[in-house]
Structures are given as structure tokens and as C-alpha cells.
Amino acid sequence: MDAGESRPDRMELYRGAPRGMILGAALREHDVGNPDEFRPQVEQFVGAVADQLPPLLMKVPYVGAILAAGAALVLGELKKPISDFLNGLLGTDDDDLGAHVFVLSAKDMVLLACRTLPDTYQGVVSKVQPPLLGGGQGASYKICLTADAV
């Protein structure tokens, strides 16, 4: 979306007697992010560090040989999780823009459906609006809900 745009959408989330509802909503920016942009370099780095650690551990007095042998076994299993963790720290994936949890009691559902007047903002009709959600990049977003009696 671009600045000043709004996109209404209608999706039925609940039908039936009002019993309350908890709805979690999350927004993610889907642009040109590539979470694996630097993965080969990260894996190469982790592999190089893992290869250098056992010889260094051999220099520890008295227990070096045991530590080096243990490290060689453990690092073989940990290369992938360590690479995944470090790759995630680079932040080359799409961005999380925020999340909100809507908690509606049965009474809230009845009041929203029967007694609350809708609000219209930039063509989007809603009865419940959370605080603005943003990705820390100057953009802000809202997830709006409405309730209708059926």
C-alpha cells in the first residue's frame, strides 16, 4: 500500500450465538525481502569457526583433547541451528509491522452487532479499531473489525 491508501475487505470470521472471541491479527510487509540473501556466507562463516574451534580447544591444559572431541561432535549438530539464528539476525526477511489481539466478550459481540454505530475512515467501515500498528519505518497500519447481527 502507498501513503493515504486504504483497502477494505470483508471476511466472515464468526457466525452463531455470541460466546465471545479472541482474535489475533498480525501484519507483515511483503516486499523484496529475501531471508536467505546472505545464507551461503553465514554458513561458510559458521563452518569456518566450527573447524577452528577443536584445534583451539586442544590447547586447554589437561582437558583439551576431551573438549576438542566433544566440540567436534556437538558442532556438527549445531552448525545448522547456529547458521539459522545468525541468518535471522541479519534482518533480510520481510518486516513484522505489528500485531493486535482483539478480545470480545459475548456482551461485546452483542453490543457491536446491535448497538454500536459504524465508523468510516478512508472508505473502511468498522466498529472496532486497535491502535495504529507500524513497522518502525514511518508507516502506520490498522486492522479494523465490524460486527453484524445475522
pLDDT in tens, 68-109: 999 888 988 999 999 999 988 887 777 777 888 989 999 999
In this structure, the number of other CB atoms found within 10 A of the CB of residue 70 comes to 13
pLDDT digits (tens, 9 = 90+) for 99-119: 889 899 999 999 999 989 988
Asked which of 42-46, 127-131, 134-138 is least confident by mean pLDDT, the reply is 134-138
Name the pTM for this structure.
0.55
Residue 5 has which C-alpha cell?
Answer: 491508501
Residue 36 has which C-alpha cell?
Answer: 536467505
CA distance 32 to 93: 8
In this structure, the number of other CB atoms found within 10 A of the CB of residue 150 comes to 8
CA distance 150 to 148: 6
